[in-house]
Chain A
Amino acid sequence: MRKYAPNKFRSLTVAARCLALMLFFCKPALAALDIEITRGVVRTIPIAIAPFDVSNPNGPNDMARIIANDLNHSGQFQVMPQNRLPQQPHDADAISSDLWKTLGLDDLVIGRAVPTGSGQTKVDMTLLDLFHSTQSTPTILMQRSYTVANSQTRALAHHISDVIYEKLTGEKGVFSTRLAYVTVQPMPNNPRHKLYSLMVADVDGHNAKPLLTSTQPIMSPDWSPDGGSIAYVSFETKLPQIFTSDVATGRRRLISSFAGINGAPAFSPDGRSLAVALSMGRTNPNIYTIDLGSGRLTQLTNDAAINTEPSWAPDGQSLLFTSDRGGAPQIYRIDLGSLQAQRITYIGAYNASAAYLPGSSTKISLLHRDDRGFNIAIYDLQSGTMQTLTQGGSIESPSPAPNGRMIVYSTNVGGRRMLGMVSSNGQVNIRLPEVSGDAQAPAWSPYKG
């Protein structure tokens, strides 16, 4: 036995070597072919939202409609109209993927909203991926359950839009943020006089509530970075003054009441100060900052030109503002350390209302006038290019969303001012629901608003 052992061992090594050799020659045949995909198709995600309301699936307040509206308005989704849905399922196991796939959909949202009595509603939501596997049943990407007061179902719908948006695009949604804007309508009992209201509404224009009403103009609302208060200009004493109002309680605080113009308040990113335009009894305004804690005033610009519309850089170290010191309104940037102002825009004879686009330190949204009138444009500080997003020509007061994907504005429609939104690539442009009278000076809240 001992005699054969080495031979046996040798034959084993030979076998192993043969195997290794075979594997070596087999390997090239097993290597995967390389495919490089370098260019996709820029388009929105096709999605369907099945009705949530079991008892009244086609009601106007069905959460599915609110979600569909949100996603459609985001510029990132294409929501299939409800009347084209082949089924109205509420449960995932009742769904055949193939039926929905043939409609060209990527994803499907199903849910169920059932009143529990005692003024509450129980809501289940499921996000299904129709192309996550080869199975004929869809893959569940996300499943959530909520119980909310009946009055909160609309807010919950916006929240569900946010989680769907973030799951499918990788970015935070803005559907739970709010808009502040000013409405102007004739006084009910005296149509020759006007009534001004500072409104706060959901981002889809619904759920609008007045924060302040006045017989004199209200202008330039701006949100604090925590979304807790709004600064604005009120002419309630017939002279412009700057106030802040607490959004939850409505409590007001007078910030600036200097001689002449008190205008264009803008909260600093840390919320501790306001940049404002003050004329201090002269004919032209200059840019100042007011420390909200100490009330200390700091003058930033000092010349005879009109300097207004200050807007903070994300780092709080500089401001953009509009000035006609060069003869026509253009955007300038002033460094808070050196107080050196530098002209930013050179394209076009009129640029105003600048703001950094959130999520980008190189792009600013602004109001740009060219041969098509006043439109929203994105100016790229790096490339020096100006991209016009709208065509209307009567745009005012652009204010970007906190994720930088959409910009809200006011525009003239048939002699009335209305609110609209445009995606920051210009592909989606929508109107917000009509209000009575004019809607102007919109300001998009931060995330926590």
Chain B
Amino acid sequence: MQARFKQSFGYSFFFHIVLAIIFFVSLSDSLITIPPASSAKEVQNNKEIVNAVAISEDDLSKEIRTQQAADNAVKAKAANEARQLAAAKAQALAQIQQAKQEQAAIAVKQQADAKKAADQLAQLQAQQKQAAQQLAQTQAQTAAAKKTADAAAAQKAADAKRQALQQAQKASATANNNVQTQNEINRYVGLITQAIQAQWTQLPGAAQQKLATTMIIRLAADGTVLQVQNVGSSGNPALDRLALTAVYKASPLPVPADPSLFASFRELKVKFSDT
């Protein structure tokens, strides 16, 4: 169909060109070659040519009309086809449109749902936010309070430290002595603990029993046990007695010779307890 249309168009174009060439040739002939009334034969000849050309022109126009009709038919057909295509297109479009509308409707619904959820979420978030704000407020208050307290404590500590430092500076030598004294006291506490422990008999059968006996011991300057006073009985006189025996058997206890140190050892509180 298209090939035929192309052919017809080609012919029409060709003949138009031929016609135009003939027209221009005849015109130039008449301009150049047509002498005014040169000869009748010549005029006759010219007339024949013109006629021939004219005939040809008629044919051409006839052909053209045919061609045009064909063209028109083709065009009409094409138009028809186009209309059909357009109609199909329109129908498809309508369908698409409908689908779009449906989608839109769904989307709208979804949006509505989403909005609802979002609203709820927002509400929840708002609540959370409020709670968070309250918490933050409380924390802020606490922090503020703590900060104040810390500051106060820091101040106090600083004061205490400064005072301690001052005191320490005032009597650093004394402080040194105190540390040495404490070390010495600790050493003798260890020695006394060992001495009594070594004498404390735990009966094979009584080993599992829970025992806690406390006694106050008074010592002579050489460490001899002068007096023992039971201030907390285990409830089992036999086990209390074994503890008492341990103290007396450990006498004299190791004590510091320095009288100022011994002052701390004049009285001891000894607690016996099963672990």
Q: Which residues of A contact B (CB under 8 A)?
A: 29-30, 32-45, 75-76, 106, 129, 131-134, 166-171, 405, 423-425, 427
Contact = CB atoms under 8 A, between A and B. Distances in A.
Contacts of B263: 29
Most central of B200, B239, B263 by chain A CB within 10 Å: B200
Given A75-B205, A405-B205, A35 B237 contact: no
A45 B203 contact: yes
A39 B264 contact: no
A41 B202 contact: yes
Contacts of A133: 248
Given A33-B185, A36-B193, A423 B238 contact: no
Interface of B: 185, 189, 192-193, 196-207, 216, 224-226, 236-239, 241-246, 248-249, 251, 263-265, 267-275
Contact of A40 (B202, B248, B251, B265): B202
Contacts of B236: 170
The 3 nearest A-B residue pairs measured at CB: A170-B238, A40-B200, A40-B202
A134 B218 CA distance: 12
A423 B272 contact: no
A35 B205 contact: no
A38 B241 contact: no
B245 A131 contact: yes
Contacts of B251: 134
A33 B265 contact: yes
Given A168-B238, A168-B241, A33 B205 contact: no
Chain A contact surface mostly: loop
A167 B238 CA distance: 6
A299 B111 CA distance: 81
Contacts of B246: 37, 40
B203 to A, nearest CB: 5
Contact of B238 (A35, A41, A134, A169): A169
A76 B242 CA distance: 13
Nearest to B208: A360
Contact of B205 (A40, A43, A132, A171): A171
B268 A36 contact: no
A76 B226 CA distance: 29
8 contacts: A35-B271, A37-B246, A41-B202, A43-B202, A76-B204, A132-B241, A425-B204, A425-B207
Given A75-B204, A75-B205, 16 more contacts: A32-B268, A34-B268, A36-B270, A37-B193, A37-B197, A37-B246, A40-B202, A42-B203, A44-B201, A106-B245, A134-B225, A134-B226, A167-B238, A170-B238, A171-B205, A425-B204
A131 B249 contact: yes
A171 B203 CA distance: 11
A172 to B, nearest CB: 11
A129 B197 contact: no
Nearest to B244: A132
Nearest to A423: B204
A39 B275 contact: yes
B207 A132 contact: no
A276 B192 CA distance: 59
A246 B237 CA distance: 38
A38 B273 contact: yes
